Amino acid sequence: MIHGVNRSSNDQLCALLRGEPASPPAQDLDRLVAAAVRHGIHALLFQRLTDRAAAGGEPLLDALRPAVHRSVSLAVQQDTVTAGLLGDLREQAIPFLVFKGTPLAYQLYPSPYLRPRVDIDLMVDLPYCDLIRDWLISRHYVCGPLVKPFSRGCYLTSQFNAVSDTPTEPLHVLDIHWQVSNRYALAAPLSFDMLFEKAESFDGLGIPLRCPSPLHSLLIACLHWAAEPDRRLIWLYDIHLLVSRLDTPRAHELLALAARTRLLTVVRHLLRECQSCFATPLTPPLADELAHPSAAARCDPARLLLRRPDSSLRAHMADFLSIRDARERARMVSAVLFPPSSYLDLQGVAPRCPLPLRHALRLTRPLWVRFSQR
């Protein structure tokens, strides 16, 4: 079940995307449209129903139409701004990758506007983060604080956001990452150097850019789904499309890569989800892995994130278990319990108080929240 969604809504949306007849009762239309928009599949669903001219689907088409028009209009404006910004960024000699939603929208879908994007995700190497942040500020973007890692691990956050501050242009949001996920257990095996070495060209925005390879994109899509508490169907549909394109050699390569990066449990779980929701066709190696799971995957630390993605304790435990060096584990515990002031600023914890008091307030805040709810 997709976290946080009424089961009947989820089942109906998946059935519609699988091509089953559309005949939702009139009283369910508002609920279905709201769920489709929240999951980011409203434009895709609208196109599917239009192409099939499904009997009984016209009321749902009419209900979806306003949301689709708003989404497409916003996407056109955002892509225009994104193309200009990234074209200028290429001239700054800063190596970067465009990843997640934007390249997938252009590479996997008949039209990029079938795949809504809330923001633009870029990945840069950590030494360039200050440089790109200063450059964005010079372009009138308001940037969040940059929380540098204590040592080699990013245990708190590995990104900052940048929001356009130009009244004459539409709102434009960038997420700048130096790891593919804030969860160290998921991100540590996929370094920027590894992704950049295998990166492929991407020119969907009309300028030559770089994005992760299809296999790396699939792995990133899986770990993104695993790391987020509010899991959306459009992310799962990305994985469905990526898996559907795999041939047998590529499937073997995916399983080997997932095993090396200790993400095989996550990949296997997402294969099952895709089959259940979208009847995703699997090549023999992937079908065999589901039928006869590899014993090595039982030791994947990331398995702790699959059932309770909203549990910070399980997330920190997964990060802790993914670190094999005792000293680095001690640094991770120190970072989580006593983060730097820049991270406390990001969390909005008593910015005017002394640092020790801010740490105390942060550690006791869950108790105060629980007490106030009684």
User: Can you give 136-194 as a three-state secondary structure string?
Assistant: HHHCCEEECCCCCCCCCCCCCCCEEEEEECCCCCCCCEEEEECCCCCCHHHHCCCCHHH
Confidence of residue 278 (pLDDT cuts 50, 70, 90): very high
What sign has the CA pseudo-torsion 249, 298, 155, 315?
positive
Least reliable range by pLDDT among 68-72, 86-90, 260-264, 360-364? 360-364
Confidence of residue 4 (pLDDT cuts 50, 70, 90): very low
Give dist(CA 286, CA 258) in Å, integer.
Answer: 12
**For residue 193, is pLDDT > 60?**
yes
User: Given this model, what pLDDT does residue 1 score?
Assistant: 43
pLDDT in tens, 141-178: 998 888 766 554 567 788 889 998 777 666 788 999 98
Pairing of strands 209-211, 200-202: antiparallel
Amino acid at 250: R
Q: How far is CA 235 from CA 138, 162, 213, 251, in A?
A: 33, 22, 17, 20
Point out which residues pair with 99 in neighbouring strands.
121
Cβ density class 324-354: b for 16+ within 10 Å, e for less = eeeebbebbeebeebbbeebbebeebbeeee
pLDDT in tens, 90-132: 998 899 999 998 999 999 999 999 999 888 999 999 889 899 9
Rg (CA), the chain: 22
Q: Token match 């987020």: residue?
A: 228
User: Given this model, what pLDDT does residue 2 score?
Assistant: 45
* Mean of pLDDT values over 26-45: 87
The HSE-up count of residue 69 (CA atoms within 13 Å, CB side) is 6
Q: Token pair of 11, please?
A: 């089942």
User: Given this model, what pLDDT does residue 363 score?
Assistant: 73
User: Given this model, what pLDDT does residue 175 score?
Assistant: 92
Q: Which has the closest alpha carbon to 209: 83, 308, 325?
A: 83
Q: Which has the closest alpha carbon to 175: 186, 159, 164?
A: 159
**Higher pLDDT pick, 43 / 364:** 43
Give dist(CA 256, CA 266) in Å, integer.
Answer: 13
Give dist(CA 13, CA 1) in Å, integer.
Answer: 12
User: Given this model, what pLDDT does residue 154 score?
Assistant: 66
pTM for this predicted structure: 0.86
User: Given this model, what pLDDT does residue 259 score?
Assistant: 87
Secondary structure (3-state) at 230: coil
User: Given this model, what pLDDT does residue 374 score?
Assistant: 56
Pairing of strands 209-211, 159-164: unpaired
pLDDT in tens, 307-321: 766 667 777 777 777
User: Given this model, what pLDDT does residue 366 score?
Assistant: 62
Q: Token pair of 287, please?
A: 């079908």
* Mean of pLDDT values over 262-269: 88
**For residue 287, is pLDDT > 60?**
yes
CATH topology of domain 7-337: Beta Polymerase; domain 2 (3.30.460)
Contacts 24+ apart (CB under 8 A), 32-36: 32/60, 32/63, 33/60, 33/63, 33/64, 33/67, 35/5, 35/6, 35/9, 35/10, 36/64, 36/67
* Mean of pLDDT values over 204-221: 93
Confidence of residue 39 (pLDDT cuts 50, 70, 90): very high
Least reliable range by pLDDT among 52-61, 77-86, 152-161, 227-236? 52-61
Q: Which has the closest alpha carbon to 111: 157, 138, 79, 67?
A: 79
Confidence of residue 6 (pLDDT cuts 50, 70, 90): very low
Q: Token match 């593919």: residue?
A: 180
Q: What is the mean pLDDT of the chain?
A: 83
**For residue 73, is pLDDT > 80?**
yes
Pairing of strands 120-124, 209-211: unpaired
Confidence of residue 372 (pLDDT cuts 50, 70, 90): low
Q: Token match 């996407």: residue?
A: 75
Give dist(CA 119, CA 106) in Å, integer.
Answer: 15
Give dist(CA 272, CA 292) in Å, integer.
Answer: 13
Confidence of residue 346 (pLDDT cuts 50, 70, 90): confident
User: Given this model, what pLDDT does residue 5 score?
Assistant: 40
* Mean of pLDDT values over 60-64: 85
* Mean of pLDDT values over 3-30: 73
